[in-house]
Amino acid sequence: MQLDDEFRRFLRSLSVEIGLRLLDEANQYQADAVFKAQQNLNRAALPQAHSNAKVHAFEHRVRLTIERFIGAVQNCRDVLLEVIERL
């Protein structure tokens, strides 16, 4: 099934909105992770802390994007059912 341009724009705007909303939270999580890694006095832990923070931010952003998308689908359920019936 091909995605039409309007649907792609919707997904993109949803992703951007959530990414901007979570930016401060992701930066704070990364700062906390790096601080904890520095407390161990293990220099090898710093790159791992940065990596883990980026993975955490990505997972969190994807989870929220999916939740928002499912919420939007549930809100327009009647419209979608009507479109599906026409197909």
pLDDT digits 0-9 by tens, 5-54: 777 787 788 888 888 888 888 899 999 999 998 898 888 888 999 999 99
Listing DSSP states for the chain in one string gives: -PPPHHHHHHHHHHHHHHHHHHHHHHHHHHHHHHHHHHHTT-TTHHHHHHHHHHHHHHHHHHHHHHHHHHHHHHHTHHHHHHHHHH-
More confident residue, 23 or 75: 23
